[in-house]
C-alpha cells in the first residue's frame, strides 16, 4: 500500500516537471517572438508601430488603449471620431510601439478591405503585394512604402485615399461614452488596441450652408497606434486668418489700422489672408474675402487686384468659370466679396506657390462718398470696415468655416466757420469765403496746393465760394487732416474791413495706434487738434468738438468819416482853395520884397 502511494507521488512529480519545462519553453518562444517583432516597424501619427510576430497573451493584457488629441490653440471647439483599421496586440519596447497579431478591424466590411487593397495595388509599387493579401501583408507593405504619417497628408497620397475609404465606416465609440464623437484635450480609451484613423467630427464644425461665426477647421487624417502606454498627438490643422489695413494719404505712410481722408478721395485698402496649415490635404480649397464697408463708403470694383507673392491671380471672365476669382459688390449690404471656388487651381494657373506659408493679398480703393454724406461719420469712431474669411474647413468634407473679423477705420472731419462783428458779436450773413487745401494730405502727387474745398467737402481745381447763412455760419463735411487757407472775398461784407487770408491746420492724434487702442490715454480712438495762424490772432478763434473744427472769425467795421452832406463838402473844398491862394500870394510878395532890398 505504502509502495503504491510512493509510486503515485513520483509520477505526479514527473508530470509537474514536464509541465514546467513546457511552460518554460512557451515563455522562451514568446520572448523570441517579441524580439523578432521589434525588427519590423511602421511609423504612423508620430509613434512607431511594429507590425509582425505574435505577443504573449499577458503582454497585451496590460494595455490601456488610450489616446489624447490636443487641439490647435487657435481652433474653435471641435470633436473627433475614431476608425479602426487593424486590430493588434500592442506593447511598448525601447520607446516604440510594438504590434503583433495584426488583423483587419471588425468594423471593416469586405468591400472596405478590398478598397484598401485595390488602392495599394494601384500604386506603382503595389505589385509587391501578394495576390490575395492578408491584413499582415497589407500592414507590412504600408510599413515599407508609406510616408511618415506624423506629417500632413497630401491630397494625392495613398494615406489620403485610405482615409477617404475608411471615413465612411462605423466609428468606434470610446469606453464609457454614449456617442462616438469625443472632445479634444481629454483622454479616451477603446476596447481594442491596434491601428486607428482619427478625423474631425463633421457635425462639430461649420458646413457649406451653416458656418456663420464658426472658425473651426478639421484636421488632416491622423493615423496612430493605440495600445500600451497612453498616446498623445496634436491635430494637423491651422486656422486661416485675415488682416485688413488702410493707407493714410500722408506722405511716407505705411499700411495701418486707421487713416483719414477727404470726401470723394480714393483710399487704398489691403486684405491679407492666410491658408490652413494642412492645405496640402485638400483636393479643392474654397476661399472668400467677405469685406463689409461702412455705409458712407463706396468701393471701386475695378481696382481689385489679387496676388500670391509676386504672381497676379486672374479674375473669372465668364459665368461658371472657376479657374480664377469672382469679385462683386452688394450695394444693399455694402459688402465687397472676392471668391475662389478653388484657390489651389487659381494659384496653379497663375504660377504661384500655394502652401501653408502663403499669403493671399487683395488690394482695392474706396472713398467716402458725398452722395452718402448723411451716412458718413464725422470724427468719433470713424467709418469702420471689417473683413472675414470664409474657407474650406475640412479636407475630408465640403464644410466651411469663418475667421474672426479684422477692422480698420477711415476718419473725416467737418468745418464750421462763424462770422461775427468784432464789437457786439452780431452774426454776419452773406459773407463769402473760399477755402484752399494748401497742405492737405493728398496722396496723388501734383494735387497739393492747387485744390479748393467744394460745397460737398471734396477737392476741385476751381474755387467754390461759401456764403454765410442767417446765423453767420458756413458748414462743410469731409475734410482731411492738413493745412487750409481761408480767403474772404473782397466786397462781400460791406461796411467791414476785408479780413486778410489766414490758415488753419487740422492734426489727427491716434492714427498710428492699433485698432482698439487710443492715443496717450484718450478715450476716443482718434482725437483732433486745430491751430490757426493770423497776424491779428484775436480775430480767429479755433476750437474742436468731436470731429468738428469751429473757427470763429470776427470782422471790424470800416472808419466812420464825418461826412454831413454835399454842401459841407463844397464849402470844405472852397475854404481849402482860398487858403492855398493866400499862401501862394504871400510867397510871391515875400520874394519880390527880398529882390528889391538886394538892389538897394
**Domain ranges, ordered by start, for the chain:** 1-27, 43-234, 242-409, 413-555
494-to-428, 435, 466, 542, 558 alpha-carbon distances in Å: 10, 21, 17, 25, 9
| Listed range (130-139, 209-218, 245-254) with the worst mean pLDDT | 209-218
Q: Running DSSP on this structure, what letter comes out for residue 172?
A: B
Nearest to 397 by CA among 234, 204, 239: 204
**Please, what CATH class does the domain formed by 242-409 belong to?**
mainly beta
Model pLDDT, residue 553: 92
User: Does the structure show a pLDDT above 50 at 558?
Assistant: yes
d(CA 200, CA 237): 10
Model pLDDT, residue 559: 60
d(CA 158, CA 14): 58
User: Does the structure show a pLDDT above 70 at 296?
Assistant: yes
Is the Cβ–Cβ distance between 430 and 436 less than 8 Å? no
Nearest to 316 by CA among 352, 340, 351, 290: 340
Write down the mean pLDDT value for the chain.
82
What is the average per-residue pLDDT within 511-538?
68
Measured from the Cβ of residue 378, the count of other Cβ atoms closer than 10 Å reads 19
**Four-way CATH pick for 413-555: 3.40.1550.10, 3.30.70.920, 3.40.50.300, 2.60.40.10:** 2.60.40.10
User: Does the structure show a pLDDT above 60 at 209?
Assistant: yes
Give the bridge partners for 247, in sequence order.
255, 268
With residue 67 as reference, give the H or E element that holds it.
Answer: strand 66-70
With residue 299 as reference, give the H or E element that holds it.
Answer: strand 297-308
pLDDT digits (tens, 9 = 90+) for 16-59: 444 444 444 333 333 323 222 323 334 343 333 433 333 333 33
d(CA 312, CA 282): 22
Nearest to 48 by CA among 85, 107, 95: 95
Phi, psi of 12 (to 5 degrees): -65, -40
460 or 441: whose pLDDT is higher?
Answer: 460
Model pLDDT, residue 592: 59
d(CA 223, CA 82): 10
Residues contacting 496, CB < 8 A, separation 6+:
421, 428, 555, 556, 557, 558
Nearest to 230 by CA among 12, 55, 356, 64: 64
Is the Cβ–Cβ distance between 269 and 387 less than 8 Å? no
* Strand-strand pairing, 255-256 and 242-247: antiparallel
348 or 498: whose pLDDT is higher?
Answer: 348
Ramachandran class of 249: left when φ > 0, alpha when ψ lies in -120 to 50, beta otherwise: alpha
The three state secondary structure string of 395-429 is CCCCCEEECCCEEEEEECEEEEEEEEECCCCCECC
pLDDT digits (tens, 9 = 90+) for 122-134: 887 777 888 889 9
pTM: 0.78
Amino acid at each position: 500500500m505504502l509502495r503504491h502511494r510512493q509510486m503515485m507521488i513520483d509520477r505526479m512529480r514527473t508530470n509537474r516537471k514536464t509541465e514546467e519545462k513546457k511552460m518554460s519553453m512557451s515563455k522562451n518562444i514568446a520572448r523570441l517572438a517579441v524580439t523578432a517583432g521589434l525588427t519590423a516597424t511602421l511609423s504612423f501619427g508620430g509613434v512607431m508601430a511594429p507590425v509582425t510576430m505574435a505577443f504573449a497573451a499577458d503582454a497585451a493584457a496590460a494595455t490601456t488603449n488610450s489616446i489624447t488629441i490636443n487641439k490647435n490653440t487657435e481652433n474653435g471647439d471641435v470633436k473627433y471620431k475614431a476608425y479602426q483599421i487593424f486590430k493588434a496586440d500592442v506593447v511598448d519596447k525601447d520607446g516604440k510601439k510594438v504590434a503583433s497579431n495584426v488583423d483587419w478591424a471588425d468594423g471593416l466590411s469586405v468591400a472596405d478591405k478590398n478598397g484598401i487593397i485595390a488602392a495599394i495595388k494601384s500604386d506603382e509599387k503595389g505589385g509587391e503585394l501578394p495576390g490575395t493579401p492578408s491584413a499582415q501583408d497589407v500592414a507590412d507593405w504600408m510599413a515599407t512604402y508609406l510616408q511618415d504619417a506624423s506629417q500632413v497628408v497630401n491630397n494625392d497620397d495613398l494615406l489620403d485615399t485610405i482615409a477617404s475609404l475608411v471615413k465612411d465606416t462605423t466609428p468606434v465609440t470610446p469606453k464609457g461614452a454614449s456617442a462616438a464623437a469625443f472632445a479634444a484635450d481629454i483622454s479616451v480609451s477603446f476596447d481594442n488596441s491596434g491601428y486607428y484613423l482619427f478625423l474631425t467630427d463633421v457635425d462639430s464644425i461649420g458646413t457649406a450652408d451653416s458656418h456663420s461665426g464658426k472658425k473651426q477647421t478639421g484636421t488632416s487624417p491622423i493615423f496612430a497606434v493605440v495600445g500600451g502606454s497612453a498616446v498623445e498627438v496634436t491635430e494637423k490643422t491651422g486656422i486661416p486668418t485675415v488682416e485688413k489695413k488702410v493707407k493714410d494719404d500722408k506722405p511716407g505712410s505705411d499700411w495701418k489700422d486707421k487713416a483719414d481722408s477727404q470726401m470723394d478721395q480714393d483710399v487704398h485698402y489691403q486684405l491679407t489672408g492666410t491658408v490652413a496649415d494642412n492645405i496640402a490635404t485638400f483636393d479643392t480649397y474654397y476661399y472668400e474675402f467677405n469685406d463689409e464697408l461702412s455705409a458712407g463708403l463706396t468701393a471701386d470694383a475695378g481696382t481689385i487686384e489679387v496676388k500670391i507673392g509676386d504672381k497676379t491671380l486672374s479674375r473669372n471672365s465668364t459665368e461658371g468659370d472657376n479657374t480664377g476669382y469672382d469679385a462683386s459688390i452688394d450695394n444693399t449690404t455694402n459688402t465687397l466679396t472676392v471668391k475662389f471656388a478653388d484657390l489651389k487651381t487659381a494659384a496653379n494657373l497663375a504660377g504661384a506657390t500655394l502652401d501653408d506659408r502663403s499669403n493671399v493679398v487683395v488690394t482695392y480703393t474706396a472713398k467716402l462718398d458725398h452722395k452718402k454724406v448723411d451716412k458718413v461719420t464725422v470724427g468719433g469712431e470713424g467709418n469702420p470696415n471689417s473683413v472675414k474669411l470664409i474657407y474650406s474647413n475640412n479636407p475630408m468634407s465640403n464644410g466651411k468655416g469663418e475667421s474672426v473679423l479684422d477692422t480698420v477705420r477711415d476718419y473725416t472731419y467737418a468745418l464750421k466757420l462763424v462770422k461775427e462783428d468784432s464789437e457786439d458779436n452780431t452774426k454776419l450773413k452773406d459773407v463769402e469765403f473760399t477755402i484752399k487745401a494748401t497742405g492737405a494730405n493728398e496722396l496723388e502727387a501734383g494735387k497739393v496746393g492747387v485744390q479748393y474745398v467744394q460745397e460737398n467737402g471734396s477737392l476741385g481745381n476751381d474755387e467754390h465760394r461759401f456764403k454765410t447763412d442767417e446765423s453767420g455760419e458756413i458748414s462743410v463735411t469731409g475734410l482731411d487732416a492738413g493745412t487750409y487757407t481761408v480767403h474772404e472775398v473782397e466786397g462781400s461784407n460791406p461796411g467791414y474791413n476785408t479780413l486778410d487770408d489766414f490758415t488753419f491746420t487740422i492734426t489727427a492724434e491716434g492714427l498710428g495706434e492699433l485698432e482698439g487702442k487710443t492715443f496717450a490715454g484718450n478715450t476716443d480712438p482718434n482725437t483732433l487738434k486745430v491751430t490757426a495762424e493770423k497776424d491779428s490772432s484775436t480775430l480767429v478763434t479755433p476750437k474742436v468738438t468731436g470731429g468738428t473744427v469751429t473757427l470763429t472769425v470776427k470782422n471790424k467795421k470800416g472808419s466812420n468819416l464825418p461826412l454831413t452832406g454835399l454842401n459841407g463838402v463844397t464849402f470844405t473844398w472852397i475854404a481849402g482853395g482860398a487858403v492855398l491862394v493866400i499862401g501862394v500870394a504871400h510867397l510871391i510878395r515875400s520874394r519880390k520884397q527880398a529882390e528889391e532890398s538886394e538892389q538897394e
